Amino acid sequence: MIRRVLLVDDDAAVREALGQTLELADLTPQRAGSFIEAKDHIAPGFEGVILSDIRMPGRDGFHLLSYTQEVDPELPVILLTGEGDIPMAVEAMKQGAFGFLEKPCASADLMPVIERALKTRALVLENRRLKAQLETGDPAARLIFGSSEMSERLREQVRRAGAARAEVLITGAPGAGISKVAEVVHLMSAAARRPFVKRPAAGLTRESFEAACHEAEGGALFLDEVAAMPRDTQFAVTEWLEQGGGTRLIAGTSTDLAPKLEAGEFSPDLFYRLDVMRVRIPALSERPEDIPVMFRQYVAQAAEQAGLPAPEITEEVVARLMARDWPGNARALMSEAMRFVLGMNAPEAGDAEGDLGLAEQMAQVERSLLAAALRRHEGHASAAALSLKLPRKTFYDKLARYGLRPDDFR
């Protein structure tokens, strides 16, 4: 989410001073001198918060607060006054103001309130987006979680693969959810109502393959960990594909097939038959910003499965989750969610992270986001900074702080 603040004050000097304070904190101020000027920016999907003076000619801050409540009751409004009027502050909070501060307001007092409001707003918008996904008829949106650009590209790959009639090869790290993505590909296809059959490729014989094809006739057969398929069966599958089959094959692998091709352990003919459309599932280490989104979904699912209320996911829990590497990817995150729901090994009581304070945890999170951006953009710092919406100087300062070198990601 863009770190935007709609700054409303009729005093130009105050607007400019507050705007500079916000910019120094890497925020994006939008300045308005009155309610009328601010009104056009206030919308249900506004990606930010509002900071407004109360005492303004014409329609004041209370009027702005009331209007905002009508447009979007969950859009945080922080009110400022130079009067020091306690009853006014109480009334503002009663009417739904997120916060109330007295002018002149020091940065040390203002920024913590702004940051809390931005985090609250980001969570609200993310929950709305997830709810909209769950209500849509698009299986890719409902079943593949994540709000990052990489997750959206994955969903688009799945949609294209589903619409095609060709074979599909799905790759990803262990625990990435290859089987689940294969099923979503099938659900996106014209044969979604036909059978979807899963079989492990290891130990698959010609006979068991033909039986599975018959079971999945008209639908899709998913061969999991295709790299482990016996050589004799590889030839049988290739022959079946050459004859036209009658069932769509979707293959999955968490193993790089290139070394097996070079070593003669995997048939090139079968590889090129399967590798018509490829879907790659990015690891969590490449998109750490998806971890909180996915964890919330998994906690909701685990709570429903266990018949228990979903526990609160605090900022500290999120920080601890994002500070971890997650080599087990989605599968490991699902297990963590179930333990969290059951009160076993909750993230607050994590392993090595347990001795870290919140500042150290947040530093680990920031470092992981910077590294992930550099990895995605192959060490191109300007592109990585742009993707994180950071000024280049700020980006390079952060890289120096964490000892990250763009060249190491090329």
- We report the CATH number of the domain holding residue 89 as 3.40.50.2300
On whether both 303 and 363 belong to a single domain, the answer is yes
On whether both 122 and 166 belong to a single domain, the answer is no
DSSP conformation letters of 159-172: HHHHHS-S-EEEEE
Segment holding 54, helix H or strand E: none
User: Residue 193's domain spans which residues?
Assistant: 139-282
Structure tokens at 404: 């990250």
In whole angstroms, how far apart are CA 128 and each of 74, 121, 133, 147, 382? 11, 11, 9, 12, 31
The pLDDT of residue 49: 95
Alpha helices in 227-357 (DSSP H): 231-242, 257-262, 268-274, 291-306, 315-322, 329-342
Q: Looking at 282, 307, 325, which one is the last position of a domain?
A: 282
Segment holding 113, helix H or strand E: helix 107-135
Name the strands in the sheet holding 77-81, side by side, starting at the edge strand that comes first in the sequence: 28-32, 4-8, 48-53, 77-81, 99-102
On whether both 236 and 327 belong to a single domain, the answer is no
Residue 390 neighbours by CB under 8 Å, 6+ apart: 26, 398
Rounded Cα distance between 95 and 404, Å, is 46
Rounded Cα distance between 57 and 276, Å, is 66
Residue 112: beta bridge partners? none
Q: Looking at 114, 132, 150, which one is the last position of a domain?
A: 132
The 10 Å Cβ neighbour count of residue 281 is 26
On whether both 225 and 307 belong to a single domain, the answer is no
Structure tokens at 53: 């003076």
Q: Could you identify the residue written with the tokens 């809390």?
A: 116
Bond before 104 cis per omega within 30 degrees: yes
86-127 residue pLDDT tens: 677 777 788 888 988 888 788 888 999 999 899 888 878 877
On whether both 221 and 124 belong to a single domain, the answer is no
On whether both 44 and 64 belong to a single domain, the answer is yes
On whether both 65 and 113 belong to a single domain, the answer is yes
On whether both 145 and 124 belong to a single domain, the answer is no
On whether both 72 and 172 belong to a single domain, the answer is no
Which pLDDT tens digits describe the chain residue by residue (410 residues)? 568 999 999 889 888 999 999 998 889 999 999 999 998 899 988 989 999 988 888 888 889 999 999 999 999 999 988 766 667 777 778 888 898 888 878 888 899 999 989 988 887 887 777 666 656 567 887 788 888 889 999 999 999 999 998 999 999 999 999 999 999 999 999 999 899 999 999 999 999 999 999 999 999 999 999 999 999 999 999 999 998 877 999 999 999 999 999 999 999 999 999 999 999 999 998 898 899 889 998 998 888 888 888 888 887 788 888 878 899 999 999 999 988 988 875 554 444 444 556 566 667 677 778 887 888 888 888 888 888 888 888 888 888 888 788 887 87
Type of residue found at 229: M
Total domain count for the chain? 3
52-78 residue pLDDT tens: 988 888 888 889 999 999 999 999 999
Q: Taking a C-beta distance cutoff of 8 angstroms, is the pair 115, 85 a contact?
A: no
Rounded Cα distance between 385 and 373, Å, is 8
On whether both 273 and 306 belong to a single domain, the answer is no
Q: Taking a C-beta distance cutoff of 8 angstroms, is the pair 197, 220 a contact?
A: yes
Rounded Cα distance between 260 and 130, Å, is 40
On whether both 253 and 294 belong to a single domain, the answer is no
On whether both 303 and 267 belong to a single domain, the answer is no
Rounded Cα distance between 137 and 139, Å, is 6
The pLDDT of residue 306: 82
Rounded Cα distance between 334 and 324, Å, is 14
**154-178: buried (b, 16+ CB within 10 Å) or exposed (e) per residue?**
bbebbbebbeeeebbbbbbbebbbb
Phi and psi for 4 in degrees, rounded to 5?
Answer: -105, 140
The pLDDT of residue 135: 61
Q: Looking at 231, 254, 282, which one is the last position of a domain?
A: 282
Segment holding 6, helix H or strand E: strand 4-8
